[in-house]
Amino acid sequence: MRTEEIDVLVSEVGPRDGLQSVDRTMPTELKFRWVDALAGAGLREIEVGSFVSPKRLPQMADTGQVVAHARGIEGLNVLALVPNLRGAQDAVAAGAQALTMPISASRAHSLANIGKTPEEAIREVSRVAGFLASRDEPVSLEVGVSTAFGCTIQGPVPEDEVLEIARACAEAGADSVGLSDTTGSANPAQVRRMFTALRRELGERAGGAHLHNTRGQGLANVVAALDAGVRTLDSSQAGLGGCPYAPGASGNIVTEDLVYLLESMGLRTGVDLEALIEAREIIREGLPGEPLYGHVPDAGVHNGFVYAGSQEVTR
Mean pLDDT of 226-249: 80
**Per-residue pLDDT reduced to its tens digit, 5-63:** 999 999 999 999 999 988 899 999 999 999 999 999 999 999 999 999 999 899 999 99
Q: Is residue 273 part of a domain?
A: yes
Residue 240 within any structural domain of the chain: yes
CA dist 267 and 87 (Å) reads 35
Domain-embedded: residue 1:
no
Task: Give the single-character DSSP code of 45.
Answer: E
Helix then strand then coil, in percent of the chain rounded to 5, is 45, 15, 40
- Domain range for 263 is 9-314
Q: Is residue 4 part of a domain?
A: no
Quick check: is 109 in a domain?
A: yes
- Mean of the per-residue pLDDT values of the chain: 93
Separation between Cα atoms, residue 161 and residue 135, nearest integer Å = 32
| Per-residue model confidence as pLDDT tens digits over 174-220 | 999 999 999 899 999 999 999 999 999 999 999 999 999 988 999 99
CA dist 86 and 252 (Å) reads 27
- Residue of 13, 26, 92, 243 with catalytic role: 243
Quote the percentage of the chain above a pLDDT of 70: 95
Sequence-ordered alpha helix ranges (H) in the chain: 28-40, 63-70, 85-94, 107-114, 118-133, 159-171, 188-202, 218-227, 255-264, 273-278, 280-286, 295-299
Could you tell me if residue 3 is inside a domain?
A: no
Asked, for residue 2, whether it belongs to a domain, the answer is: no
Q: State the pLDDT at residue 242.
A: 61
**Is the residue at 286 inside a domain?**
yes
Per the DSSP assignment, residues forming a β-bridge with 176 are 142
User: Which residue type is seen at 187?
Assistant: N
What is the pLDDT, as a whole number, of residue 3? 61
pLDDT tens readout for residues 145-163: 999 999 989 999 999 999 9
Compute CA distances 118 → 82, 166, 248, 268, whole Å.
15, 11, 22, 36
C-alpha 308: how far from its chain's center? 23
Task: Show Cβ contacts of residue 99 under 8 Å, excluding neighbours closer than 6 positions.
Answer: 79, 80, 81, 82, 88, 91, 92, 128, 132, 139, 140, 141, 142
Active site annotation includes 243:
yes
Based on the structure, what is the number of domains in the chain? 1
CATH number of the domain at 304, please: 3.20.20.70
In this prediction, residue 115 has a pLDDT band, given cuts at 50, 70 and 90, of: confident
Q: Assign 223 to helix, strand or coil.
A: helix
